[in-house]
Amino acid sequence: MADDPSTNTLILCVLDGHGEHGDGVSAQFRDQLAMEMMSHPCWSTDIKKAVSDSIAKVEHQVIRNFRIDTEFSGTTLSMAIIRGNTLIGVNIGDSRVILGLEKDGKIVAEEFTHDHKPDSPLEKERILAAGGRVFAVEYDDGIDGPPRVWLGHMDVPGLAMSRSLGDAVAHTAGVISDPEFVEKELNPSSDRVIVVATDGLWEFVDNDETINILVPTPGPAEAVDCLVKEANARWMQEEQVIDDTTVIVAHLFGYKESDD
């Protein structure tokens, strides 16, 4: 999370590393990206250019960092940038930004960024055109896993997303690191809350459930605690492991401030 008072901008970002060196990839983005964006010459005039250039620059630095092997390691990125009343969503991979909107006296979920899955038609088309393959592995219990990206001639890397940062091998099979942007003007009369989270949450807790869980909580910190606990419980029930789960909750336009 970063704040830039000079442009009245708030940056909320989650990163989810994967692979042996995924923690190193995500840490470098965590430590450098916001500063790169805010020091970009276009930051005050063209957010999307500043963000795209900064992501590419940090990714290039990560790949050149001999301590971090990015062949089979990388990270997702999901970011909500709020400047004034404009909300810009930035997404690479399968982390996600959602909104909670008030409609008819009830808070409802609206998906803001959309996950990059290998079987999405346009993503799959690009991967196949690059010579990659997309298929799901059937496990011993007969259940199919998620669709994954594979090289044309070898059953690696098996990446379950069609865009990521790092992942040099997957990038030869059509996986790209281009961010996808969405933008909207926030409405003070209906927009109440933003959630930015990694797939540790979204794997077993959907958008609607996320909003239903956080609405009764008094503030963002308690909302994050409740969401992480619920996600952890469902992971243990389903998989007997717990995925890394990072959640940011931000209230908008004084939501709940008058409840104190």
pLDDT, position 111 = 98
Domain definitions of the chain by residue range: 2-115+178-259
CA 175 to chain centre: 16
Q: How confident is the model at residue 258 (pLDDT cuts 50, 70, 90)?
A: low
pLDDT higher than threshold 60 for residue 78? yes
Question: What are the residues whose beta carbons fall under 8 Å from the beta carbon of 24, sequence distance 6 or more?
Answer: 17, 62, 65, 67, 68, 73
Cβ atoms of 71 and 20 within 8 Å: the answer is: no
pLDDT, position 203 = 95
Peptide bond into 157 cis (omega under 30): yes
Question: What are the residues whose beta carbons fall under 8 Å from the beta carbon of 68, sequence distance 6 or more?
Answer: 21, 24, 25, 28, 62, 166
pLDDT, position 260 = 42
Establish how many alpha carbons lie within 13 A of residue 164's alpha carbon, considering only the half-sphere containing its beta carbon.
36
Chain segment 228-251, per-residue pLDDT in tens: 999 999 999 998 888 999 999 999
Q: Mean pLDDT, to the nearest integer, of 142-150?
A: 87
Question: What are the residues whose beta carbons fall under 8 Å from the beta carbon of 215, sequence distance 6 or more?
Answer: 100, 107
Chain segment 3-26, per-residue pLDDT in tens: 999 999 999 999 999 999 999 999
> Quick one: tokens of 153?
């001639």
Q: Tell me the CATH number of domain 2-115+178-259, given options 2.60.40.10, 3.60.40.10, 3.30.420.130, 3.40.1260.10.
A: 3.60.40.10
In the chain, % of residues over pLDDT 70: 99
Chain segment 87-108, per-residue pLDDT in tens: 999 999 999 999 999 999 999 9
* Mutual angle of helices 47-64 and 22-38, in 10-degree steps: 140
DSSP assignments along 66-125, one per residue:
TTS--SS-EEEEEEEEEETTEEEEEEESS-EEEEEEEETTEEEEEE-S----TTSHHHHH
13 phi and psi angles, rounded to 5 deg? -140, 135
Cβ atoms of 181 and 87 within 8 Å: the answer is: no
User: Can you give the pTM of this predicted structure?
Assistant: 0.95
pLDDT higher than threshold 90 for residue 200? yes
